[in-house]
Every structure is written in structure tokens, then in C-alpha cells.
Amino acid sequence: MADNRTRTAVITGASSGIGQATAEAFAARGWNLILAARSRDDLETVASACRAAGVQVLVVPTDVGDATAVQALAAAAQSFAGRIDLWFSNVGVGAVGRFLDVPIETHDRIIRSNLIGHMNDAHAVLPIFIGQGEGVLVNMISVGGFTAAPFATSYSASKFGLRGFTEALRPELAEHPRVHVCDVYPSFVDTPAIRHAGNYTGKALSAPPPLLDPRTVAEAVVRLADHPRPSVILGTATWAARLGHALSPALNANAIRLVFERYFAAAASAPATDGNVMAPPGDGAHIDGGLRTPPARRAGLAAAALVASLAAGGLFLAVRRQRSRRED
């Protein structure tokens, strides 16, 4: 930006994890903030930390699945700051379990939050960006946007759908070259999202390491404010999963299924819960999930090796099929 004015960001899903880390990262750079999520108490905790950096912060409790509420959020942000420079569409919820074991209401809510919610965000802020002549919309997707996840079917549907939505949206904005739509695809991140997830497996949940620090993801989002680009991929696991899916979606999905099944066979028992899918978790604002332990890092190397070997196997099969076609 050429001028020295204070810039403003709207962050949805700002009450914990990546959203909280990103709010603090923008505050450290002097940005004013509008923070949105379902829990006012958690948003106020995050807002207090950001105000300590000397910036102005507005808290707007919002359910992004409600289009009217998101329009009100955008209006409140404009009234508060006069303009919006970046909108970080960051809400994401999920549930783990076989498709038929998860209530359809839970599937519906995941799609509404993870896909329709991001569309609501875009529908509210893009007219503002077009009117200003500039602005950056950042969609948080995940490795799930590139590879299917058995036992998390609605999450997969939402992330594949969100990737398709943003890829289709960009060409429509071609006549507005200073309005940017950016995607961020991290591998698994060490946030409270795992313990907040709905769980219908009967087993305790964890995440396959290596896990990214949420602050690493936050810094990637902050960089997009000055250096927007269509996609940012974070973590070697995301690159490997993207390659594996591109070469052989069926092989990739079946490998993930086997990993899940082996994990569930050894994991401790846990009660069924819809987690934070239907309502805020109520356990406070926290950036970290506490899963980055030395044993987890060692296991993560094994997991990364597995994904890489699957990608290599898929490449081998693809090359062999191509050679067979040529010989025929």
C-alpha cells in the first residue's frame, strides 16, 4: 500500500486457533480488527490481547452460516473503520465418523459453516472491495481441499467445494485486478480444532503429525495482504497429498482409510459428541492444541514417508499405464 493509513482486517473464526493467531499477528503490525465468531466471551479474550498492541478492535459475534448476520458484520466493519482491506474467511468445523454414523443434521451444519459460510463472507465483502477498487479475500481451506478424507465425508465435501468455489470466482473478478481471492492450504495444524471436532468413532481423536504451528499459518495470511497470490500451500504433507490424489484418487483415499482404521483399532475409547459443530465449545480462547510432542514428531516423519511413498506409487502406476497405452 502506498499510503500510511491504518489498515483494517475482518477475521471470522477469530476465537481460537489460526484465527486467534492471525488476529494477534495483524495487531502486532498495527492493523485495526473486526473479530467474528459465535462466542462473545472468547472473542473478547482475543480482542483484549490485540488491544494491548495499541490497535482498535470491534467484536461482532456472528454465525457465518446466517447470510443476514454476515451482511451485518460487513456493515459494522465498514461503519467502524470506513473500509476493509482484508477479509480472512476462516471458519471451519468438522466431525469424524462413518458417514451413516454421523447425524445428517451434523453433516448439514458442517457444509453450512465450511462452504456456505465462506460464500456468505464473499457475497458480503466483494461489493465493498469492488467499490473501493481493491481488497483481499483469504479463504482458509486445508489439505482436505486436495485429497478426500474417509471418515470425514462432509468435511471433505465442504473443502472440495470451497476450492471449486474460489477457483470459479477468480475469473469473474478479472476486470477488478486489485481485488484478490486467495486460498491457504495448510496440512494439519496444532490448534484446538481436533478436540473441538464432532466425534462419532467411539475412539479418542488426534491428528497425524507433523503438525504446523498456527502462527506459521497466520504469518502466511498476513503476507497475502501485501503480496496476494491465488494459492498458498503449507506443509510437505499437503504437497504429497495433492500429488497422490492427482495421480490416483482411489489409491490415495484407500490408503487414508487404512491409516484411520489402524489408528481407531489402537486408540482409547471416547464418547460420541457433536463437538463445536452445533455450538461454541466453551473452553476458552487458545491458539495451540498441545499436540506437538517429540513422539508425535517422530510419528509424523513416518506418516509423511507413507504419504510420499503412496504418491511415488501412484506416479509409478500412472507411468506404467501410459507406457501400456503407447505399446497398445
121-161 pLDDT tens trace? 999 999 999 999 999 999 999 988 888 889 999 999 999 99
CB distance 146 to 241 below 8 Å: yes
Instruction: List, for residues 24-47, the tens digit of each pLDDT value.
Output: 999 999 999 999 999 999 999 999
Question: What CA–CA distance (Å, rounded) separates 124 from 132?
Answer: 14
Assign 3-class secondary structure to 77-141: HHHHHCCCCEEEECCCCCEECCHHHCCHHHHHHHHHHHHHHHHHHHHHHHHHHHHHCCEEEEEEC
| CATH T-level topology, domain 8-327 | Rossmann fold (3.40.50)
Continuous segment of H or E residues that includes residue 234: strand 231-234
Question: What CA–CA distance (Å, rounded) separates 311 from 247?
Answer: 7
**pLDDT class for 2, splitting at 50, 70, 90?**
very low
Question: What CA–CA distance (Å, rounded) separates 151 from 101?
Answer: 10
Choice among 155, 185, 200, 263 that is catalytic: 155
Question: What CA–CA distance (Å, rounded) separates 283 from 69?
Answer: 24
Half-sphere exposure in the Cβ direction for 201 (13 Å, CA) = 24
CB distance 181 to 230 below 8 Å: yes
Q: How far is CA 32 from CA 183, 232, 285, 298, in A?
A: 22, 24, 20, 40
pTM (two decimals)? 0.87
Q: Among this protein's residues, is 155 annotated catalytic? A: yes
**Averaged pLDDT for residues 288-294:** 81
Q: Which pLDDT does position 257 carry in this prediction?
A: 87
Closest CA to 5 of 126, 122, 132: 132
Q: How far is CA 183 from CA 102, 224, 287, in A?
A: 28, 10, 21
CB distance 36 to 76 below 8 Å: no
Instruction: List, for residues 178-211, the tens digit of each pLDDT value.
Output: 999 999 999 999 999 999 999 999 999 988 778 9
Kindly report which listed range (66-80, 221-235, 257-271) carries the lowest average pLDDT score. 257-271
Amino acid at 303: A
Q: Domain ranges for the chain, please list them.
A: 8-327
Query: Cell for 278?
Result: 452445533
The edge-to-edge listing of strands for the beta sheet with 179-186 is 57-59, 32-36, 8-12, 86-89, 135-140, 179-186, 231-234
How confident is the prediction for the chain on average, in pLDDT? Answer: 89
